[in-house]
Amino acid sequence: MANILSFLIPQEKKFFPLFDKAAENLVAISTLLEKMVNTNDPEQRKLMIREIERMEHHGDTICHEIFNELNSTFITPFDREDIHALNTALDDIIDYVHGSAKRIDLYQINELTPAIKKLSELILQASIELDVAVRELRNMKKPGKMKEACVRINSIENHADDIFDTAIARLFEEEKDAIKVIKMKEVLSNLETATDMCEDAANVIETIIVKYA
């Protein structure tokens, strides 16, 4: 039905549901990451990591759908470059969430530290804020909610920076096995970069607001 009547929807409005889908997938993958790092059973964790992988592939599909739509649409709700940039930014976050989970698996990290848990929680929070902001893209003339979400994402990213720095300092003080330091540092770094990418996505949204609100 949706397909049959889709020619009635102005083409440029097709982007909003696609971005909604991307943001929804982001919240889903971040929710699962946060659950995974709080799971003690290694077998359960492995299953969750497989599911995170599946969601990452799903994210790739959505990302390509948006690019294809961009290829075939003449009028877009905002600049093509910004649609491109937002699409890429959302995809990047998912890549780092997946990258973090993959490294926990590959490096056989069993000690899921408070910093890993806290950073995963912050990624989830930032993802939820991005979901709010992305859903408001259709209300460009009332950018208040979007702006607030972007401000909160910036503050979440600052918080993640602090958590990361403190965790790294402690790691160097307490861990004497250099190989373990390298592994843990990389997992923490991937998690922290995921929050940086959330900030990048928020910056794209701020740029769109600058141009259109």
- Is 47 one of the binding residues for a copy of itself (CB under 8 A)? no
Among 183, 192, 193, 197, binds a copy of itself (CB under 8 A): 183
CA 38, 43, 49, 50 torsion: positive or negative? negative
CA angle 128, 130, 134 (to 5 degrees): 120
Min dist CB 44 to a copy of itself, Å, is: 21
Q: Which two tokens stand for residue 28?
A: 């889903």
> Whose CA is closest to 188, among 126, 116, 128, 123?
116
| Contact pick of 11, 31, 113, 203 for a copy of itself (by CB under 8 A) | 203
Residue 211 binds a copy of itself, judged by CB under 8 A:
yes
User: Can you spell out the DSSP letters for 168-209?
Assistant: HHHHHHH---HHHHHHHHHHHHHHHHHHHHHHHHHHHHHHHH
The footprint of a copy of itself on residues 80-139 (CB under 8 A) is: 80-81, 84, 88, 102, 106-107
List the interface residues with a copy of itself, window 158-177 (CB under 8 A): 165, 168-169, 172, 176
199 binds a copy of itself (CB under 8 A): no
With CB under 8 A as the contact rule, the residue among 70, 135, 138, 140 that binds a copy of itself is 70
Compute the distance between CA of residue 160 and CA of residue 54 in angstroms, rounded to an integer.
Answer: 26
Measured from the CB atom, is 5 or 179 closer to a copy of itself?
179
Find out whether 192 and 121 touch, Cβ atoms under 8 Å.
no
The least distance separating a copy of itself from the CB of residue 155, rounded to whole angstroms, comes to 11
| 179 belongs to the binding site for a copy of itself (CB under 8 A) | yes
Pairwise CA distance, residues 69 & 157, whole Å = 31
List residues near a copy of itself by CB under 8 A: 67, 70-71, 80-81, 84, 88, 102, 106-107, 165, 168-169, 172, 176, 178-179, 181-183, 185, 203, 206-207, 209-211
